[in-house]
Structure 1
Amino acid sequence: MSLVSPVISLPDELSQKSVKLGIMASGSGTNFEAVAQAIADKQLNAEIKVLIYNNPQAKVKSRAEKWQVPSVLINHREYRQREALDQKIVNTLQEYDVQWVVMAGWMRIVTKVLLDNFPDRIINIHPSLLPSFKGINAIEQAFRAQVKITGCTVHLVNLEVDSGQIIMQAAVPILSDDTLETLHARIQVQEHLILPQAISLAVNNCPDN
């Protein structure tokens, strides 16, 4: 586990393995953009092969267009079973020759269908210092609990929600005058910093990549 501050930089690109990424997102796509920007800045040796999004109104689609990344809508409402949804996702990721999967605000629970096809190669970012405040509304959970420090975590995905091996974390203090909105904004800043770094760490520490 790594606990980082904003001043930590990414490894030199030449020391990194190149990786083909598939990104899954459900919302505005700010973490998608952070990864794309890190690649453009040569801080992450990767290529985003495809964006998969499940919400037809998700703003992440326009971000993908900006970065000229192909996007595929896979609307979960059209699938009665999670396994069927995940099989469609797997088929799409394989079609685009994806090696690692990044869940950057993907608001769906995944199944063995997806996990078994990308074993130990699915990364998620969660807005709390896991193992505290798992699941939905994590920022609100921390805010209501009146803890003094929260943050964000990048971890490998397994069947138990928000319970996979932690790759990297960043701490964010909860200030006396914070609102949910201001706290969320400061956590997002840290998410954008650590997600590209965590992808690099995970890929470079994987012996079979």
Structure 2
Amino acid sequence: MKIAIFASGNGSNFEVLAQKIIGGEIPGELALLFCDHPDAYVIERSRKFQIPVVTFTVKACGDKQAYEEKIAQVLEQYKIDFIVLAGYMRVIGQPVLSKYEGRIVNLHPAYLPAYPGLHAIERAFADGVAQTGVTVHYIDAGLDSGPIIAQKHVPLYSDDCLEDLEARIHACEHKLYPAVLKELLSKKGE
């Protein structure tokens, strides 16, 4: 099974997943990193794994429809079977969604349905909730509204600063996402 990881930023989740896929802990072949920001640090992280990287922006394509159609062409070119979103900060459009329905998963830094969309950690922190969490879910046409695969709560302590909460969220992500993908891709491989 050929896997593409989509990412937009720093790439810490990408790096964890790449190590586990290439190391054989998660079944499949990491065939592509797609990034919508040509200067994102995730591209630097990807170099040590020697996997193909494709990067382009909506602006370079002219509009969102053309951008999504170009992504669909790239996925077909690389014969991608499954898409893993790891910090990809865009909504997946119909040209990709229609071809990969049920084969696109996302990691969200909140206990959905609370805090969908951008800045979930910051919003949970600002609200002073007792706990937030991490969610792995399938992608649908909505905003973080697809069927939930797995969730884990992450506490917010009264003496936390935002960086403390972010660190706990990322630590949880780095454990939960690989475990869920291992199970999910093992079943799909059968």
Asked if Structure 1 and Structure 2 have the same fold, meaning a TM-score greater than 0.5 normalized by the shorter chain, the answer is yes
Letter in 2 for 1:141: R
The aligned runs of 1:60-71 (5 Å cut-off) are: 60-71=42-53
What value does the CA root-mean-square deviation take over the aligned residues? Answer: 1.5
1:86-116 CA distance string (max 9 Å, x none) = 1111111111111000111111112111100
User: Hey, what's the Cα distance between the residues in 1 that align with 2:145 and 2:122?
Assistant: 19
Q: 2:108 aligns with which of 126, 129, 145?
A: 126
Determine the C-alpha separation between the residues in 2 that align with 1:202 and 1:110.
20
For normalisation by structure 2, the TM-score amounts to 0.94
Alignment partners' CA distance in 2, 1:175 and 1:37: 31
Task: Tell me by how many angstroms 1:128 deviates.
Answer: 0.1
Which residue, 138, 143, 148 being the options, matches 2:125? 143
Task: Find the counterpart in structure 1 of residue 163 from structure 2.
Answer: 181
Q: Hey, what does 1:43 align to over in structure 2? A: 25
Correspondence for 1:3: none
Q: CA deviation at 1:81?
A: 2.5
C-alpha separation between the residues in 2 aligned to 1:200 and 1:160? Answer: 25
CA deviation profile, 1:154-174 (whole Å, cap 9, x unmatched): 100001100001111121100
Amino acid aligned to 1:23: I
Count of aligned pairs: 190
Partner of 1:25: 7
Aligned amino acid, residue 162 of structure 1: D
TM-superposed CA distance for 1:205, in Å, is: 4.2
Q: Deviations over 1:120-164 (max 9, x none)?
A: 101111100001110111001111121111111110000110000
SS of equivalent to 1:117: coil
CA–CA distance in structure 1, aligned partners of residues 180 and 64 of structure 2: 27
Partner of 1:102: 84
The answer to whether the 8 A contact 1:24-1:103 is kept is yes
Structure 2 residue 134 is matched with structure 1 residue 156: no
**1:87 partnered with 2:69:** yes
Normalised TM-score (structure 1) = 0.86
Q: Distance in 1 between matches of 2:63 and 2:2?
A: 28
Where in structure 1 do 4 or more consecutive aligned residues deviate above 3 Å? Answer: none
Q: CA deviation at 1:40?
A: 3.9
Greater displacement, 101-110 / 79-88: 79-88
Measured in 2, the distance between the counterparts of 1:204 and 1:41 equals 15
Q: Percent identity?
A: 38
Q: Please state how far the C-alpha of 1:196 moved relative to its aligned partner.
A: 1.5
The farther-off stretch of 100-109 and 75-84 is 75-84
Match of 2:178 in 1: 196
Deviation at 1:77, TM superposition (A): 2.2
Report the Cα distance in structure 2 between the residues aligned to 1:77 and 1:185, rounded to whole angstroms: 33
The gaps in structure 2 that reach 5 residues or longer are none
| Counterpart residue identity of residue 74, structure 2 | T
What 5-or-longer segments of structure 1 have no aligned partner?
1-18
Distance 2:58 2:162 in 1: 28
Asked whether the 8 Å contact 1:129–1:150 carries over to 2, the reply is yes
